[in-house]
C-alpha cells in the first residue's frame, strides 16, 4: 500500500479530464482505497499512522473531485460533518484520533480540535462548519462530566436540536450516554462509526431526536 499524494492528485485530475462522474470517482476510487486501509487497521495489519497518511492523501484527491461536483452531488457523497475533540482537562487522544480517522475513512468531513478543548470552543467550531455531529471523548472519570456540560450548554444556547452529540472514551458507557441525553455512543472506533452512520441516516430521513 502506497500513500502517494502526487499519484492521487494525478489520478483525480485524469478522472475529471476524462469526464468520469466525480461521485463515482470518490466512492469507487478514493473511497475504496481508504476503506481498505480502515479494514486493514481493524485487522491489525495497518496502524494509526497509516490511517493518518491515507486520510491526508484522500483529502488531496477529494479536493480536486469536489471542485467539479454540483452542490446536490456533493451533499450526496458526503456522509456528514463531524467536529471531534477530547474534552476540557483531558490530554488523552489516542482513541479519539482513531475514531476521527475511521470517520474520515468512511466518508465524513472531520474537524479534529485536539485535546483539552472547552465546550464553548467545540460549539463555536460546530456552528462555524455547520456540523452534523459533535463527538466528544473522555478518558478519565473526572473529565467525563464535561460531556454533560457540553450538552447542557447546547440546550442553554437553544442549539441542542441542531447537532447530534456522540460520546465515547474509557469511563463512558451507554448508560452514561443515556443519562446525559447524548444521541449516540461508541464502545470502540468501529462501533462509533456505525453509530454515526445510523444517526446520519435517521437525520436525513427526518427522524426526530428522542
Least spacing, CB of residue 61 vs another protein, in Å: 19
Least spacing, CB of residue 2 vs another protein, in Å: 15
Residue 10 phi/psi, 5-degree rounding, is -60, -45
Least spacing, CB of residue 171 vs another protein, in Å: 7
With respect to another protein, which residue has the nearer C-beta, 28 or 42? 42
Least spacing, CB of residue 161 vs another protein, in Å: 26
> Cβ atoms within 10 A of the Cβ of 74, count?
16
Least spacing, CB of residue 49 vs another protein, in Å: 4
With respect to another protein, which residue has the nearer C-beta, 88 or 132? 88
Identify the H or E element spanning 134: strand 133-137
72 burial type by CB count under 10 A (0-12 exposed, 13-18 middle, 19+ buried) = exposed
With respect to another protein, which residue has the nearer C-beta, 49 or 161? 49
With respect to another protein, which residue has the nearer C-beta, 15 or 57? 57
Is there a contact between 155 and 127 (Cβ–Cβ < 8 Å)?
Answer: no
* Gap between the Cα atoms of 77 and 17, Å rounded: 20
* Gap between the Cα atoms of 58 and 29, Å rounded: 10
With respect to another protein, which residue has the nearer C-beta, 79 or 144? 144
Least spacing, CB of residue 199 vs another protein, in Å: 21
Q: Within 13 Å of residue 55, how many CA atoms lie on the same side as its CB?
A: 24
Residues that bind another protein (CB under 8 A): 41, 44, 47-49, 52-53, 89, 91-95, 98, 114, 140-146, 170-171, 173, 187-188
With respect to another protein, which residue has the nearer C-beta, 114 or 155? 114
What is the crossing angle of helices 94-105 and 31-42, to 10°?
140
Is there a contact between 90 and 139 (Cβ–Cβ < 8 Å)?
Answer: yes
Amino acid at each position: 500500500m502506497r500513500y502517494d499524494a502526487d499519484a492521487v492528485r494525478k489520478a483525480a485530475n485524469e478522472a475529471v479530464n476524462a469526464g468520469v462522474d466525480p461521485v463515482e470517482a470518490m466512492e469507487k476510487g478514493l473511497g475504496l482505497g481508504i476503506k481498505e486501509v480502515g479494514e486493514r487497521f481493524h485487522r491489525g495489519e495497518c496502524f494509526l499512522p497509516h490511517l493518518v497518511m491515507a486520510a491526508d492523501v484522500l483529502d488531496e484527491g477529494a479536493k480536486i473531485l469536489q471542485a467539479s461536483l454540483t452542490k446536490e452531488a456533493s451533499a450526496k457523497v458526503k456522509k456528514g460533518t463531524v467536529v471531534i475533540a477530547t474534552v476540557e482537562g483531558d490530554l488523552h487522544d489516542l482513541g479519539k484520533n482513531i475514531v476521527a480517522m475511521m470517520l474520515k475513512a468512511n466518508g465524513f468531513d472531520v474537524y479534529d480540535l485536539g485535546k483539552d478543548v472547552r465546550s464553548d470552543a467545540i460549539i463555536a467550531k460546530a456552528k462555524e462548519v455547520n456540523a452534523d455531529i459533535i463527538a466528544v471523548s473522555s478518558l478519565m472519570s473526572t473529565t467525563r462530566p464535561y460531556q454533560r456540560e457540553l450538552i447542557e450548554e447546547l440546550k442553554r444556547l437553544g442549539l441542542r436540536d441542531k447537532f447530534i452529540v456522540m460520546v465515547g472514551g474509557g469511563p463512558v458507557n451507554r448508560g452514561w450516554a443515556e443519562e446525559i441525553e447524548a444521541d449516540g455512543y461508541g464502545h470502540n472506533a468501529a462501533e462509533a462509526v456505525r453509530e454515526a452512520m445510523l444517526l446520519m441516516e435517521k437525520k436525513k430521513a427526518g427522524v426526530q431526536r428522542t
